[in-house]
Amino acid sequence: MSARPPIVRLLLLCLACGLTLAGIALPVVGGLGLLTRSAADSFSDLPDVLKMPPPPQESQILAADGTPIATFFTQDRVVVPLAQIAPPMQQAVVAIEDARFFEHGALDLKGTLRAAATDIGSGAARQGGSTLTQQYVKNVLLYSQHDQAATKDSLGRKLREARFAIGLEKRFTKQQILAGYLNLVYFGEGAYGVEAAAHRYFGEPASRLTVPQSALLAGLVQAPEDYDPMRHPADAIARRNVVLQAMVRVHDISAADADRWSTSELQLHPTHETGGCDSSVAPFFCDYVRGELLNDPHLGTTRQARQRVLMTGGLTVRTTLDLHVQRAAQHAVDTVVPAHGRVATAVVAVRPGDGGVKAMAVDRGYGSKRGETRVNLALGGSSGFQAGSTFKFFTLAAALAKHVPLSQTFYSPPRVHLNGFTGCNGVPLGSWSPKNAEDGEGGTFGLVRATWESVNTYFAQLERKVGVCAPWRLAQQMGITEISTGGAPSQVPAFTLGTDDTSPLQVSSAYATLAANGMYCTPYGVSAITDPRGGSIEQNNGDCSRVMSPHTAQLETSILRGVIDGPDPLRTGASASIGRPAAGKTGTTDSFAAAWFSGFTPQLAASVWVGDPRGGAAHPLRNVSVRGTFYSHVYGADLPAAVWHATMSGALAGTPVQNFTGLAAHVAADVMYVPHVYVAPPPGPDHHGPPAHPLPPAPKPPKHGPPGHNKH
């Protein structure tokens, strides 16, 4: 309050009242003199239409079932209609702030003079003369214009507030003004508006506030910090009791009830809304959705404008997140690869047929503390992760689309030097010398068995046969980009072994294409956005396009089913089996920079990355221990397959078992295979095809391969 002497304050208030009355009366009495005439004219010239943009409101992020998972705000506020504010709360704030609110007009001259007289009698400036309407005007000016003059105890402010208040009560009812005030005023502890305050102090909506709770909140308006019940409970109780007595004076409650409630404890049940993704049950999914919103042109033409709308616009954002699937994914990453080790993991689950992201989990806390990170590993981190043999998926699809038969065989020794690779438009891409994961792995393989065992030198020759361009273009059509640049992946012979940097989100969406019979759907997390009044801003039902024929998709699925549940004891994905029809592929980079497992059922696709978040090139997955188990090398069939198994088993628990359709309903038949036989390659610089001399009949494959063989 002002430090002016009480007598000066009285004179100023009287002058303000006189000028206000003169402005209201408009006809100026001739004997008042030139000064009064000028002042009245000046008051009449003041604008009376207050610009009232919507107050800053928090935006809510919801899971698919409507459960809140995060909020974003600069001011924690949820605007509610008066009907959703308990009557005791309405009564309490009127009783203590402006008892004659429903009796006087925009201004209360009687109250103003009484306040001034009380100040003089007490020798200090203690009483305010503003009505609730004037207080509402003051708060609107503060938030809409950041007008610091709105807090100054000056004649100019009083006149401006009075003029706006008069105009306001011409346009709105008392009930509308009361609702606006209760939704705007600050209640302390970061809570703006009565709905946020009710949740902050009592964990209840404003519609359920009791009389003593209402009295406590109404008492906070005058000095939220001084009467903060969490920091100053005794002062808060005393102030609450003052409000209760004010309610007695206006006959809202009885004296007996006031006495009874005056002896009650505060009974706080505080909640602390931190905002953002830090406190979300799915923080990395929240981070992903926030990124989508900040790039959404429906919310503004610039990123800065979209940020402002997100933080202040009161949006309701419904997402694709399935909390059941999310819990399964988070449990999987936390138990298989616990946090605080040097090895990390991330998994993304996508709904085939529309691209909705159903889960996104990382085995790290979201934050800035030790052991936490704000780098979203599920989106590839800052520069992405090499995908390894998961990219054989694209070469296989391109080969099947070009009608390469399942019986296609290549002699595939442990190492091979190949020439003749071509890119798009027949551009030559030079030579390449790939090798298999194990020095002893070689022989003649057919397409099916080579996929089940993920034979590098076979797929190098298959890629040469179909051309690098076909799988490269198919990958682009399925959303694969180079994370660090955002551009197309590299068009090089090594493309089939996943040397480009990608993310679990991209790879899971690509694999979901097969489950959707060849329809690729762009992944998305935001399904609907509405404004504070429930108006639709955006609806998203998926953006899908056909990238391969159903026949090709089903045929590839039938092959990839054998990776998990096929007859080959050396298949790479046996440990991922979940007891229902599923297909998938392991992935390990040559340098062990990362390990992957990606797969799908008819209902759900998921991709798992495992690596060192500091960078796989400098920190490969060699000689690591996870949960007491030592790994000389981490392959896709190790930790990634275990995370995938746990994620999918938990996510699909209780859901009906579905089989794939068409050709995918069965595992592809095995074709020719010669195990672990290293034979000198035929003469010539370009080794491909069967050996020059027939090999002896292949022995029956052993039940279990040599250690490490099935770990691609």
Provide the token pair at 104: 């006087």
DSSP-derived secondary structure letter, 124:
S
Place of tokens 């040559």: 590
Task: Of 322, 280, 385, 339, give the one whose Cα is nearest residue 647.
Answer: 322
What is the pLDDT, as a whole number, of residue 288?
A: 97
**Cα–Cα distance, 584 to 286 (Å, whole number):** 27
Task: Of 208, 176, 194, 182, give the one whose Cα is nearest residue 76.
Answer: 194
Residue 405 corresponds to which amino acid?
Answer: P
Averaged pLDDT for residues 154-160: 69
Which pLDDT band, with edges at 50, 70 and 90, does 109 fall under? confident
Provide the token pair at 419: 């020439």
Task: Of 183, 203, 204, give the one whose Cα is nearest residue 194.
Answer: 183
Q: Kindly give, in sequence order, each residue whose CB lies less than 8 Å from that of residue 597, ignoring residues fewer than 6 positions away.
A: 573, 576, 584, 585, 586, 587, 607, 608, 636, 637, 640, 641, 643, 644
* Model pLDDT for residues 301-334, shown as the tens digit of each residue: 999 999 999 999 999 999 999 999 999 999 999 9
Residue of 628 and 86 predicted with greater confidence: 86
What 3-state class would DSSP assign to 448? helix
In a domain, 57, yes or no: no
What is the pLDDT, as a whole number, of residue 161?
A: 80
Pairing of the two strands 594-600 and 372-373: unpaired
Q: Which residues are paired to 501 by β-bridges?
A: 386
Q: What is the percentage of the chain residues whose pLDDT exceeds 70? A: 83
First-to-last alpha carbon distance for the chain, in angstroms, is 75
Q: Kindly give, in sequence order, each residue whose CB lies less than 8 Å from that of residue 9, ignoring residues fewer than 6 positions away.
A: 2, 116, 119, 125
Query: To the nearest 5 percent, what fractions of the chain are helix, strand and coil?
Result: 40, 15, 45
Task: Of 669, 288, 318, give the one whose Cα is nearest residue 509.
Answer: 288
* Model pLDDT for residues 176-226, shown as the tens digit of each residue: 999 999 999 999 999 999 999 999 999 999 999 999 999 999 999 999 999
* Model pLDDT for residues 537-590, shown as the tens digit of each residue: 999 988 999 999 999 999 999 999 999 999 988 899 999 999 999 999 999 988
**Cα–Cα distance, 599 to 595 (Å, whole number):** 14
Averaged pLDDT for residues 497-510: 95
In a domain, 96, yes or no: yes
Q: Kindly give, in sequence order, each residue whose CB lies less than 8 Å from that of residue 197, ignoring residues fewer than 6 positions away.
A: 187, 188, 189, 191, 206, 217, 220
Provide the token pair at 249: 């004076």
Average pLDDT for the chain: 85
What is the pLDDT, as a whole number, of residue 692?
A: 32
**Cα–Cα distance, 461 to 43 (Å, whole number):** 88
Q: Where are the alpha helices (DSSP H) in 250-406?
A: 255-262, 283-294, 303-312, 323-336, 392-401
Averaged pLDDT for residues 235-252: 97
In a domain, 204, yes or no: yes
In a domain, 164, yes or no: yes
**Cα–Cα distance, 161 to 128 (Å, whole number):** 14
In a domain, 146, yes or no: yes
Task: Of 308, 111, 82, 78, give the one whose Cα is nearest residue 187.
Answer: 78
Supply the CATH number for residue 12's domain.
1.10.3810.10
What is the pLDDT, as a whole number, of residue 697?
A: 36
**Cα–Cα distance, 55 to 75 (Å, whole number):** 9
Task: Of 504, 659, 460, give the one whose Cα is nearest residue 597.
Answer: 504
Task: Of 698, 703, 705, give the one whose Cα is nearest residue 672.
Answer: 698
Q: Report CA dihedral (323, 327, 328, 333) to the nearest 10 degrees.
A: 140
Q: Which domain holds residue 208?
A: 6-45+88-238
What is the pLDDT, as a whole number, of residue 139?
A: 86
Task: Of 154, 233, 211, 222, give the one whose Cα is nearest residue 188.
Answer: 222
Enter the pTM of the model. 0.81
Which pLDDT band, with edges at 50, 70 and 90, does 130 fall under? confident
Q: Kindly give, in sequence order, each residue whose CB lies less than 8 Å from that of residue 557, ignoring residues fewer than 6 positions away.
A: 514, 515, 583, 660, 663, 664
Task: Of 586, 619, 544, give the one whose Cα is nearest residue 710.
Answer: 586
Task: Give whichever of 24-33, 597-606, 681-690 has the largest mean pLDDT.
Answer: 597-606
- Report in angstroms the alpha-carbon separations of 358 from 231, 436, 461: 42, 35, 37
Task: Of 287, 478, 453, give the one whose Cα is nearest residue 378.
Answer: 287
- Is the Cβ–Cβ distance between 364 and 344 less than 8 Å? yes
- Report in angstroms the alpha-carbon separations of 426 from 105, 395, 468, 585: 84, 17, 10, 30
Domain count, the chain: 1
Is the pLDDT score of 111 beyond 80? no
Sign of CA dihedral 462, 466, 467, 471: negative
* Model pLDDT for residues 182-191, shown as the tens digit of each residue: 999 999 999 9
What is the pLDDT, as a whole number, of residue 324?
A: 98
622 C-beta neighbours (distance < 10 Å), count: 11
Which pLDDT band, with edges at 50, 70 and 90, does 112 fall under? low
In a domain, 192, yes or no: yes
Q: Which helix (H) or strand (E) holds 376?
A: none
* Model pLDDT for residues 415-457, shown as the tens digit of each residue: 999 999 999 988 899 999 999 988 778 899 999 999 999 999 9
Is the pLDDT score of 162 beyond 70? yes
Is the pLDDT score of 606 beyond 70? yes
Q: Where are the alpha helices (DSSP H) in 210-297?
A: 211-220, 233-249, 255-262, 283-294
In a domain, 427, yes or no: no
Averaged pLDDT for residues 613-626: 90
In a domain, 263, yes or no: no
* Model pLDDT for residues 685-704, shown as the tens digit of each residue: 343 333 332 323 333 333 33
Is the pLDDT score of 30 beyond 50? no
Which pLDDT band, with edges at 50, 70 and 90, does 124 fall under? very low
What is the pLDDT, as a whole number, of residue 156?
A: 66
**Cα–Cα distance, 179 to 207 (Å, whole number):** 13
75 C-beta neighbours (distance < 10 Å), count: 18
